[in-house]
Amino acid sequence: MPVGERIRAVVHAGPQVAILHGDLADQGQQHRRGVVGDDVGGACKYTPTGTRGFGPARGMRYGATDLNDCPRRADRQTLVMLQIEHVDALSCAQAILDTPGVDGICVGPCDLSASLGRLGRTDDSELLGQIQRVLRAARGAGKLAGIACGSDPAAVARWLAAGAQWLAIGADVSSLFVHSRELLGAVRPLLSC
């Protein structure tokens, strides 16, 4: 399935942030084309800016949003980020940032650490230097400089200091697990089984 069609399937669900893998394409070149001539960012926006199809049931919040306002609201509220999480994406970061319709980048430090041969060492000095370079490039291009940083407050502080402006903090499944574990620990003494 062409990239643009996969993107359209996601944006029809109505997300406010679409984080797309920036390094899946051939060294930054296919980022410019989602489907025959249209760009990745354009696949997330309605006409005349983009080529997104109009099947907005979920995006309209199942009728809670006016049909006529839906395209304008979605175009205004949908943030398009390309993820950089492989060493090969570092060399084409500028091409990724130059992709039409893209609002910024989101660095994936764990996968990036693995591709640099430093699996899980997200505090490695070479990794930090590469991430800072990409974040600076994003800011210099007038794009959002984002990063996935988990739920460790020290990591959040480290990435903010490195120049991140947009943070993907925590995750739904891990948050649910942590809360469930805490709840079970609190009620376990009350259970007789």
Phi, psi of 38 (to 5 degrees): -100, 160
Is the CB of residue 158 less than 8 Å from the CB of residue 123?
yes
- This prediction has a pTM of 0.73
What is the spatial distance between Cα 107 and Cα 66, in angstroms, rounded to a whole number? 35
Write down the pLDDT at residue 184: 94
Rounded (to 5) percent helix, strand, coil in the chain: 45, 15, 40
Write down the pLDDT at residue 32: 43
Write down the pLDDT at residue 144: 93
Provide DSSP, 41-92.
Answer: TGGGS-TTT-------TTTTTTTTS-TTTHHHHHHHH-EEEEEE-SHHHHHT
The amino acid present at 87, given as its one-letter code, is: V
Write down the pLDDT at residue 185: 94
Cβ count near 107 (within 10 Å) = 29
| Domains identified in the chain and CATH numbers | 3-190 (3.20.20.60)
Q: What's CA 117's distance to the chain center, in Å?
A: 23
The DSSP code for 189 is: G
Task: Kindly give, in sequence order, each residue whose CB lies less than 8 Å from that of residue 167, ignoring residues fewer than 6 positions away.
Answer: 146, 147, 148, 149, 156, 159, 160
User: What tens-digit pLDDT sequence spans the chain (193 residues)?
Assistant: 566 666 767 776 666 677 766 554 443 454 444 332 346 777 777 777 777 777 666 666 677 777 777 778 777 878 888 888 888 888 888 888 888 888 899 999 999 999 999 998 988 999 999 999 999 999 999 999 999 988 889 989 989 998 999 999 888 888 899 999 999 999 999 987 6
Task: Kindly give, in sequence order, each residue whose CB lies less than 8 Å from that of residue 126, ignoring residues fewer than 6 positions away.
Answer: 116, 118
Q: Which residues of 141-176 are buried (b: 16+ CB within 10 A; e: fewer)?
A: bebbbbbbbbeeeebbebbeebbbebbbeeeeeeee
What is the spatial distance between Cα 109 and Cα 134, in angstroms, rounded to a whole number? 12
